[in-house]
Structure 1
C-alpha cells in the first residue's frame, strides 16, 4: 500500500547493469568449464581418428572451437587449481580427477 518506490537514477541503472554483466561473465565461464570437462571425458571414449567427426556431428563444434573452450578451461584451472577438482563417472568406475 504505502510502498515507497526509489527514484530510478542513471547511477542505479548502471549498478544494475554491472551486476548483470558480472553474473553473465561468471555463468559463461562456469559453462565453458563444464563443457570442457565433458569434452575431456568424451575424448577418452571416442575411437582414435573419430574425434573431429564426433565433435562436428554430435555437438556442432569444430576442432578450433574445442581448442578455444579447452584453452579457457585450462587457463581457469591453472589459475584456480583447488576449485577445479572434480569427479565424474566412467563406464565402469568412479574416477576422481585432480586439476
Structure 2
C-alpha cells in the first residue's frame, strides 16, 4: 500500500473511532512517520495533506462538530448525517484524490 494511502486510511480509521480530527491527525502522523523517514522519495508535504484529508472522514455522533452543526441549523440527527457527514466524507475523498494526483507530479 502506498504511504500516502496508508496515512489517509490510518487517519480516517482513527477519526471514525475517536471522533477528533486533531487526535487522529497527530496519532496517524506518529504511526506513519517511520515510513516517511525510511523513504526519501516520499514528499512530506503530500503526506501531511493525506493525513489531514483522512482526519475529516465520516464525522458522526462522536464528533462535537456534528452536534454543533445539528444545533446551529436545527436539523435532526438523520438530516445531519445526510448533510454534514456526507460533506466531510466527500471532502476527505476528494482530498485524497487530489493528493494522489499531485504525487504524480511532485
Task: Tell me if TM exceeds 0.5.
Answer: no
Question: Larger Cα Rg: Structure 1 or Structure 2?
Answer: 1
Q: TM-score, normalised by structure 2?
A: 0.27
Q: Which has the higher strand share?
A: 1
